[in-house]
Amino acid sequence: MADTKPRLKVPSEAKKGEIVVLKTLVQHVMETGLRKDKSGAVIPRQIINRFTCEFNGKPVFSCNLEPAIAANPYFEFTAKVEESGTFKFTWVDDDGTVTTAQAPITVT
Amino acid sequence: MDRAAAMMNRIAFAAAVGAMAAVALIAFGTLHAPAQASKEAPLVLEGSAAQTPWKRYSDWPQRDESKFNTLAKLASPPAPKEARKLPEGLTGNAANGQKLVADRTRGGSCLACHVMGPAGGADLPGNVGPDLSEIGNAGLDDAQLFNYVNDARVYNPDTVMPPWGTHGLFNDQEIMDIVAFLKTLKAPAKFKSELDDPTRRPAPVEKRDNLDDMVNPGMWAIDRAKALWKADGPAGKSCASCHADATALKTFAPHMPRWEPRLDKVLGVEEFIYRHAKATTGADWLMQSDENTTLAVYLRYIANGEPIDVDIASPGARAAYERGKALSNRKLGQLNFACTDCHDKSKGGLKWIRGQWLGEQRGQYDHFPTWRTSLQAIWDIRKRFQWCQVNIRADELPPDAKEYGDLELYLASVNNGLKLNVPGIRH
């Protein structure tokens, strides 16, 4: 994983019961494991294989990623918010690296 | 911004860096003392600003193009003065010719620029050159066709067509094969769709918002640059030590590149970053290093929206501009292309080379350094110059070559008035 912080677009405020749009972008090569280098050797697979989003510890969205996903995976999804709290996002790399990011939201 | 205001900004900037130069002189003594330190940004004047000796990127095509022109030297064989006689004893093989016209290993070959009927099942022909679909009906004899392919300059000294024979891209037998194939072309091209027809294929329009950090991964450079700005170099100082408010430098990038008498060359943003950082913070940010490119993006990013306004009026700048303009017309490499052959609309500009659109010179500068989606990397303008040359089979120069400075100044002047919009996003 590149040494850059994931980008998050999460509204800082929402009304109780509102459906909010969450966007995330993370920098990653998403090497498929199918390409070969000039000497013919396979370039080893290295992808983000799992992404999850939790709100106050409860699952909101998760998915497994496969080698067909392009570099710098972008997610956009929605969540209904009933209370103030924190969204926590997690990306898991093939090499075991876990990257996390958080974004608070105030619900009125 | 009008010119008077631009001049005022330049003066204000010169005063700001002048104050900083005094600080640097205390830190560095006379080691890097510039000639007129009271007015000018400190620069390391000696040495190269790029990897030395320059070595081509290992994942770029490695070819020896030393027998052909570069921006720094003239080496290509001279154009023949008259047409050649047909080589004796050779018979063309049309079937092999059909393969050769679509051979991408020969500098793109014929279909890169010509529609050739239903040739070779090839899709996406270009249209820089004339449609050859009915060349077999044109009444040209074998010797004429041979000479057009071998070296069309014998018929038209201003042609943009590569001298395929003279420059050794095809041998006589292969040219005879192509001639045999050309003679079979007697029917208009039929296209499966308008996307296949270069005369109807819509020009690409870049609609992505390149400054939306969710759209353009190049925007990560801005985050990295802000961290680099505050990171102390070996001299115990950072960019922020002198430039606490980076955005105050927004009057810098629109006037770059500029003629730099202390270096006797045109200085671009990237080379400035190396020489200025080396002289102040001690950082070693060679051109095309990640740090250098990151800051080159940032120094333009803070000036986004400002019109490009480079000086080509002062005597040194004027001479550099004239040299750069001449270089933009110099035929380079085995394919023998000048910049203008592909990017001037009186020639190949605003046409298709195979499936790729050739833009004009105006519009090719305001978004650099740019994110390249096909490569997942940010390229500055000098790297783009280098790649152009490798593609036309010419040896590239080191990024800090004075010829690139002249060419960049010319290109920037053609783009004067366009607003900076960095980092761009392109294929």
Chain A residues closer than 8 Å to B220 by CB: 2, 4, 27
Six token digits for residue A25: 């972008």
User: What does the pLDDT read at residue A38?
Assistant: 83
Contact, B276 vs B285, CB < 8 A?
no
d(CA A24, CA A7): 6
Pairing of strands B370-372, B424-426: parallel
CB atoms within 10 A of CB B318: 14
Of residues A2, A9, A27, nearest to B214 (C-beta): A9
Whole-number Cα distances in Å, B18 to B26, B38, B76, B272: 13, 5, 46, 15
Query: How close, in Å, is residue A4 to chain B by CA atoms?
Result: 7
Residue B269 is inside which H or E element, if any? Answer: helix B269-280
Q: Is the dihedral of CA B366, B372, B378, B382 positive or negative?
A: negative
d(CA B398, CA B50): 7
User: What does the pLDDT read at residue B288?
Assistant: 98
Pairwise CB contact (< 8 Å): B224 & A7? no
Chain B residues closer than 8 Å to A71 by CB: 217, 376
- ipTM of this predicted structure: 0.81
User: What does the pLDDT read at residue B123?
Assistant: 76
Of residues A9, A23, A27, nearest to B217 (C-beta): A27
Give percent above pLDDT 90 in chain A: 92
Instruction: Identify the residue among A3, A7, A22, A28 best suited for mutation to test binding to B, counting B beta carbons within 10 A and taking the highest.
Output: A7
Six token digits for residue B95: 């079937």
d(CA B13, CA B16): 5
Report the residue count for chain A. Answer: 108
CA atoms within 13 A on the CB side of B145: 23
Peptide bond connecting B423 to the previous residue in cis, omega within 30 degrees of 0: yes
Six token digits for residue B26: 């205390």
Q: What is the dihedral of CA B126, B128, B134, B136, to 10 degrees?
A: -110
Of residues B214, B224, B376, nearest to A25 (C-beta): B214
Contact, B196 vs B121, CB < 8 A?
no
Pairwise CB contact (< 8 Å): B214 & A7? yes
User: What does the pLDDT read at residue B39?
Assistant: 64
Q: Which CATH architecture has domain A7-107?
A: Sandwich (2.60)
pLDDT digits (tens, 9 = 90+) for B210-248: 999 999 999 999 999 999 999 999 999 999 999 999 999
Beta bridge partners of A46: A31
Q: Which residues of chain B have pLDDT under 70?
A: 1-39, 119-122
Q: Which residues of B46-75 are buried (b: 16+ CB within 10 A; e: fewer)?
A: eebbbeeebeeeeeeeeeebeebbbbeeee
In chain A, what are the domain boundaries? 7-107
List all residues 6 or more positions away from B224 whose beta carbon is below 8 Å from its beta carbon.
Answer: A4, B294
CB atoms within 10 A of CB B141: 10
Six token digits for residue B197: 């027809």
Instruction: Identify the residue among A3, A5, A25, A32 best suited for mutation to test binding to B, counting B beta carbons within 10 A and taking the highest.
Output: A25
